[in-house]
Structure 1
Amino acid sequence: MRFMGKPNTFLGVFLGVIFGYTAIAQTKEPPRPIIKTTSFRADTVNVKDFGAVGDGQFLNSEAINKAIITINQRGGGVVLVPAGLWLTGPIEMKSNVNLHVSREAILLFSNKFDDYKIVESNWEGQPAWRNQNPISGKNLENIAITGKGIIDGNGGVWRMVKRNKMTDSQWKNLVASGGVVDEKTKIWYPSEGSLRGALENRAGIKKPGLTKEDFLDVKDYLRPNLLVFTQCKRILIEGVTIQNSAAWNLHPLMCEDLILRDILVRNPWYAQNGDGVDIESCKNVLVEDCTFDVGDDGICIKSGRDKAGRDRAMPTENVIIRRSVVYHAHGGFVIGSEMSGGARNIWVEDCSFIGTDIGLRFKTKRGRGGVVENIFINNINMVGIPGEGILFDMYYEAVDPIILLGDKKEEIKVVKLPVTEETPQFKNFTIKNVHINGADQGIFLRGLPEMHVKNVSFENINIEADKGVEIISSTNISLKNIRVNAKNTNPLVVVENSEKIAFDGLQPMGPVDLLMRVSGSETKDIRAIRTDLKGVKKKSEFVYGATAKALNM
């Protein structure tokens, strides 16, 4: 067995002899994926040669698509978008085509809803009728979007906006621009059809007996993701700025051998569903040297929603994310909540999260099902996190993680339900070398009573936050060399209805009123060694049925 730290060390033996238990084993890392790359013929066509005009007024959809079809039929090559402001409707990619957007170019998508037809698509993990994506491709191979130019989705004409995310003057100007406001004057919508879709919750989800014609009256509500590749192989997106999407910016779905390199992804901070990239049911993925500044989750792993995701049964797997920065986002690196097909074998390394609502965010809920396992995280920096630095939450609901003025957080009803295929699982995480400077809370884990968060190893975690560590409904959690500088030290650590929790080298950075609160009658087998107690006024207390025998310090 491989113990925390070096295998079969004296410490592991010491723990077993003194405390009568086996040290928690680390998850063994699988081999890292080898990702196939793209290659293109040395053949370039310019969109201007097909009648495109870069004046920001001429609609270039036909010219750009004709250039793509032509280079595809010639065996592949590069379609060049040169300097200019290129207004266009939807672009459909073809195999063996590299769409190259020059640094001096802006590819701007039309703000006219009629330029986008309703097509079969996907919305938050479920098959749906949606407006056509600005850039799309299905069942393609060897495709790329490269260059240093800008791809702008013109998303402001599609998005609803919450009143509490605007200043008074911003809200006044938005309302004056057109559109409609709901009865409570809390949300602005771009049209009556958009408001109708929201009020009737008609997201275009495909159901027996419904056709696309059934959604024509709420067409404006069916916001497209900016760039969607579905069931494609060997994809490269490199260098470009992708911004201002109506919803998710990048959505690779059921793809294989995907590389995202040196891209900038932007959305306004108030953009609902304004995710950076959502990697859904993909295999063999590399994200490196990228920057995200968006309105929802930054780098997100998904695999389908509820039954649709379980029936698809395609986990997102073999993913490497490295040397990337996330500024504003609901989460820096995220798994869930639509992870019903599972996720496994994922590495996140050498990344920085600056001002993200949550840093590392793992979210799910009852009904999802799916297994998330073998996640390896190393060398993460976080600055100015309004919420949790590291969050596992199996009670996720689709609300902003930071409560805004006028909103309130619903209380969790804790009940134990039977385990079924709808019960999600989080297990086998290794998280080490994380530095958190400024957060509401350092570490928060909350599993379900019937399905705990399991087998999570934390090592070398430095926390400066308002609150320290909270562990609820979790099993086999190892925390080694955890340094905590918290404003609220009453208590510094909470363990509730959890078992096999091992602290090794817990170090409070300053005076502590209460080191550990142990809560719940199901809590047992908490072990702590090498704990720095010199500034601790009170070591432990036991509440809500917990007893002193649950803790061995």
Structure 2
Amino acid sequence: MVETSTPTSSQSCRWRRWWASLSPSNHHHHHRRWVPSATFCSTHKTLLTAVCLAFFFTVLYWQGDGTAAGLLIFRRGLPLRQLPKLRPFTFNLTDFGGVGDGVTLNTEAFERAVIAISRLGKKGGGQLNVPPGNWLTAPFNLTSHMTLFLAEGAVILGIDDEKYWPLMPPLPSYGYGREHPGPRYGSLIHGQHLKDVVITGHNGTINGQGQTWWKKYRQKLLNHTRGPLVQIMWSSDILISNITLRDSPFWTLHPYDCENVTLKNLTILAPVFQAPNTDGIDPDSCKDMVIEDCYISVGDDGVAIKSGWDQYGITYGKPSKNILIRNLIVRSNVSAGISIGSEMSGGVSNVTIENIHIWNSRRAVRIKTAAGRGGYVRDITYRNLTFDTVRVGIVIKTDYNEHPDGGFDPKAFPVLENISYTSIHGEAVRVPVRIQGSAEIPVRNVTFRDMSVGITNKKKHIFQCAFVQGRVIGTIFPAPCDNLDLYDEQGNLVRPSTSQNSSDIDYDI
């Protein structure tokens, strides 16, 4: 409850004593120093208000990270996220006939449970508990105001026979199934036009049993694009946390045109080889999203931010923006740890990627696009990245020429600008930087600061650039390419670039 009445003087002082006791820096014997007596309260209300406000802001400061972080809750930016509410109604899957023997098909049990919860929306919704066991199912839909809770030892198994998977129209910003023209398979767990959905648990598992799908894809036996493991579309207020997602037929977790999404404490797994296109997380035309505290080891990009494909994405016009990605450990042997694109025709902006450890991977962080995409990638901040045994550390590529059909405009050139890399460290990296702009798609306003990467190749051109404009601040290792201006730590120009359009891209290293 929130008390809205004005407290009396003595109540106000008692409240302030209680508030002071919450501060970890104030022990009991310090309270007199900070909290005035009741007499003082009753006679000096104005001064007391000022003191207490100052104390309130001090507590916020202490609860930050030693800077003013505690005050950031008052900044405009990503919306404040509340913890998920406890649902007033709770059900077990077994209440609806579920059998967790790994053989019985539980699709109808899930559907009956979702229908029951859908009737409770005005009362706060409901929680569906999935107990320990192996719960085989075909794809099913979620509903608003629902919590899907997977107990420890609970495994939702996707049936691996495609005849049970419904076909859906292509995504409007793609105009085409990502692998085949025409319709695409839906996801194992799906939702559209939802609000207030939680998928969580005690590290239970959603297993797509993708092995059969991967084999049929490689043998070209599928006529439609494979489906994701979890796909939520046109929805808001989504929380997915504390579960394991593994062996998806296609992309693992795909929020599409959603807002206010939190993905945290997830383990996402697929074989690093022979599991094609099993991206970990693909935010697609989403805004106001946090991805944090995850471990991802998959057969394609760990995270890939997207916003539509060529003319279809340009027409749909929904950017991905206001995304924070932090505290991830990622492995991607065939692609990249964190990617932006290549489907980015609706635009990508205001993305922060920080505190990321990428190991045993082909590429670490990558931006990929091409002529025909249109759109933009701008205002991207990379901070505190660690590369451990990576072939190429930082990549910007502008000739990623995959197109849905021949209807794209080859003169729709994307804009790449305002990209910064700060505190980049690591070892056993073959090529630390490869920024490959072009005359039509130059890369503008790139900044490097505080970089030291141990390299495995001693050739000259291991910091590679083409058609890039930007700066290096301070000393970095390895030595930057000549396309970038050099500044000292005080911001004084030391050496201007010799040519922003020169190229020393060398794909042999």
If the TM-score is normalised by the length of the shorter chain, which range does it land in? 0.7 to 0.9
* Alignment counterpart, residue 106 of structure 1, candidates 140, 145, 155: 155
**Are residue 438 (structure 1) and residue 428 (structure 2) matched?**
yes
State the partner residue of 2:205.
Answer: 150
Match status 1:50 vs 2:50: no
Letter matched to residue 253 of structure 2: L
- DSSP 3-state at the match of 1:327: strand
The 5 A counterparts of 1:251-262 are 251-262=254-265
Counterpart of 1:238 (choices 217, 223, 241) is 241
Structure with greater helix percent: 2
CA contact (8 A) 1:306 1:340 kept: yes
Cα deviation code 1:437-464 (max 9, x no counterpart): 1212111111120231000111001121
Distance across 1 between alignment mates of 2:322 and 2:311: 23
Instruction: State the number of aligned residues.
Output: 404
Distance, in Å, in 1 between the alignment partners of 2:308 and 2:261 is 18
TM-score after normalising by structure 2: 0.75
Structure 1 residue 74: Cα displacement: 2.0
> 1:137-196 CA distances to partner (integer Å, 9 max, x unpaired)?
000000011011010011111114xxxxxxxxxxxxxxxxxx6xxxxxxx842xx742xx
Q: Which residues of 2 match residues 184-195 of structure 1 at below 5 A?
A: 188-189=218-219, 193-194=221-222
1:309 partner SS: helix
Query: C-alpha offsets along residues 251-290 of structure 1, whole Å, 9 cap, x if unaligned?
Result: 1000000000100011111211110011000010001101
The structure richer in strand per residue is 1
Do the aligned residues in 2 keep the contact of 1:419 with 1:451 (CA within 8 Å)? no
How many Å separate the matches in 1 of 2:348 and 2:425?
25
Aligned counterparts of 1:246 and 1:482: Cα–Cα separation in 2: 45
Q: For the residues of structure 1 that align with 2:357 and 2:166, how far apart are their CA atoms?
A: 39
- Judged with a 3 Å threshold, the aligned counterparts in structure 2 of structure 1 residues 275 and 545 are, in CA distance, closer, same or farther, namely closer
Q: Any residues of structure 2 matched to 1:163-312 within 5 Å, and which?
A: 188-189=218-219, 193-194=221-222, 218=223, 221-270=224-273, 271-312=275-316
Residue identity matched to 2:487 = D
Q: Which residue, out of 470, 490, 512, partners 2:464? A: 470
Pair 87,463 (structure 1): closer, same or farther in 2 beyond 3 Å: same
Return the offset for 1:127: 4.8
Residue 88 in 1 paired to residue 137 in 2? yes
Identity between Structure 1 and Structure 2 (%): 29
In structure 2, the partner of 1:169 is none
Structure possessing the higher relative contact order (Cα contacts under 8 Å, 6 or more residues apart): 1
Q: Which residue of 2 aligns with 1:403?
A: none
Report what 2:450 is aligned to: 460
What is the CA distance between 1:303 and its match in structure 2?
0.3
Distance 2:238 2:413 in 1: 33
- The whole-number CA distance in structure 2 between the counterparts of 1:90 and 1:361 is 33
Matched, 1:159 2:159: no
Once the two structures are superposed, residues 4-51 of structure 1 have per-residue CA deviations (whole angstroms, 9 ceiling, x without a partner) of xxxxxxxxxxxxxxxxxxxxxxxxxx9531244443423210000100
Q: Does the aligned pair in 2 maintain the 1:432–1:458 contact within 8 Å?
A: yes
Aligned to 1:140: 194
Counterparts of 1:222 and 1:307, CA distance in 2: 20
Q: For 1:42, give the aligned amino acid.
A: P
Once residues 73 and 120 of structure 1 are traced to their aligned partners in structure 2, the CA distance between those partners, rounded to angstroms, is 28
- RMSD (Å) for aligned C-alpha atoms: 2.6
Question: Which residue, 318, 337, 344 being the options, matches 2:342?
Answer: 337
The offset of 1:222, in angstroms, is 2.6
Alpha-carbon distance between aligned partners in 1 of 2:466 and 2:327, rounded to the nearest angstrom: 32
Letter paired with 2:473: K
TM-score (normalised: structure 1): 0.69
Determine which of 79, 93, 100 is the counterpart of 1:34.
79
Q: Aligned with 1:66: secondary structure?
A: helix
Stretch of structure 1 that moved more, 141-150 or 322-331: 322-331
Q: Which amino acid aligns with 1:429?
A: I
- Residue in 2 aligned with 1:384? 389
CA-CA distance at 1:397 after TM superposition = 4.1
Q: Distance in 2 between matches of 1:136 and 1:502?
A: 49
Q: 1:311 to 1:36 in 2, by over 3 A?
A: farther
Distance 1:122 1:134 in 2: 16
**What is the DSSP-based 3-state SS (H/G/I as helix, E as strand, rest coil) of the residue aligned with 2:143?**
coil
Cα contact 1:261–1:289 (8 A) shared by 2: yes
Shift of 1:481: 3.1
